[in-house]
Amino acid sequence: MRKHILLFALLFLGAFQSFSQWNSLSLDTQASFRAIRSFGSHIWIGGTRGTVIHSSDGGEHFSVSRVPGADSLDFRDLAILDDKTVLLMSAGPAEQGAAKIFRTENGGKSWELAFQIKEKGYFFDAISWEGNQGLILSDPAGPFYGLISISDKGRSYEVLNPINHPDLQKGEAAFAASGSSLQKTKKGYYIVTGGGEKARVLHGKDALHWESIFAEIPGGEGTGFFSLGVRDAKNLWIAGGNYARIKEGPVPVLESKNGGTTWSPVAGAPGYYVEKMLWAAPYWILSGPAESSAFDPKTKRWISLGKSPYHNICQLGDRIYGVGGRGQIGFISLSQIQQLFLSKE
């Protein structure tokens, strides 16, 4: 979503010296980051100014580099295909040269421009990779969202024309926030949206057949669902808010226990803007650029992880890693979270 990405560049410029329960990492960069994923012992992070951060040893050491020719780009999401192959997705107006996918097949030693689209309206929001097939989600570039399939380990791309899809609302789009506006489970694809009259959940049994399955939460400009979290094919969470009001929660945290057919509020959920939610067994972890929290489904209890600046989070082993503005990167362990729950009993 184009207004979203422009405003985010202005948010949270001040660096935190302390992240409460989080352990901050000091890296040689002042870029802002919203793309982070893990694979095996690897962590890949993408951000502004074409910046890439990589760890191949489970987060013990990180290297910072820039993709040649990408100094003006903002990598908002990425896909890890294997130990050596990664796709970086830049978000921005296609007609301004910002809708690009870069690819490495040697662990970041070199990068190539794998795909670019210049047609007006395209604005990449998220990228998904599962098995040997991928999908790029873009803002609407026609009657429905822009969808681009990926195959051949990130070498081949095809613009799709969905056969069935719901009508779009005025102003509706996905948010290029944490890469979790597009998710895939055994039941198919999910897209969460905002900006329109209602924040919605869209479901596709495949990338060509779509339906609206939930549209009961008021949306509006800058308001809607920013993240869909997946525990398994049946258990899903959604949340969001308004990116200009990061300490408020105009959009509730909702859960589905039947793959998105019905949704209900999660009792006691925090009231701040949630940009990413993550299932990290045995907890749900929620994060936004103001705060973060954890939820224990067994005890139905919430704990605060304190004020933290992380737009996006991912799990590797016992640790949850977070990334934010001005080079802010940190982690918290599941062991720490468990002790927090125990100390509050």
Q: What is the mean pLDDT of residues 237-253?
A: 96
Q: What are the pLDDT digits (tens) for 235-244? A: 999 999 999 9
Q: 140 pairs with which residues across the strands?
A: 145
Note the pLDDT tens digit of each residue in 18-57. Answer: 346 899 999 999 999 999 999 999 999 999 999 999 999 9
Specify the higher pLDDT residue, 91 or 11: 91
Residue 77 has pLDDT above 90, yes or no: yes
Three-class secondary structure of residue 308 per DSSP: coil
- Environment class of 304 (CB within 10 Å of its CB; exposed 0-12, middle 13-18, buried 19+): middle
Q: What φ, ψ does residue 135 adopt, rounded to 5°?
A: -150, 135
Facing residues of 158 across strands?
A: 149
Determine the 3-state secondary structure of 265 from DSSP: strand
Instruction: Report pLDDT digits (tens) over 114-155.
Output: 999 999 999 999 999 999 999 999 999 899 999 999 999 999
To the question of pTM greater than 0.85 for the whole model, the response is yes
Say yes or no to pLDDT of 174 above 80.
Answer: yes
Q: Put the strands of the sheet holding 329-333 in their side by side order.
A: 23-25, 329-333, 319-324, 310-316
Task: Please name each of the domains of the chain with its CATH number.
Answer: 2-11+21-343 (2.130.10.10)
Q: What is the amino acid identity at position 294?
A: A
Q: Cα–Cα distance between 13 and 215 in angstroms, integer?
A: 34
Q: Which whole number is the average pLDDT over 187-195?
A: 98
Q: Which of 6-10, 102-106, 230-234, 329-333 has the lowest mean pLDDT?
A: 6-10
Please check whether residue 101 is in contact with residue 162, taking contact to mean a CB–CB distance below 8 angstroms.
no
Mean pLDDT score across all residues of the chain: 94
What is the structure's pLDDT at 14? 34
**CA torsion 90→92→97→99, rounded to 10°?**
50
pLDDT tens by residue, 302-318: 999 999 999 999 999 99
Q: Is residue 2 very low, low, confident or very high in pLDDT (cuts 50, 70, 90)?
A: low
Neighbouring C-alpha atoms within 13 Å toward the C-beta of 244: 9
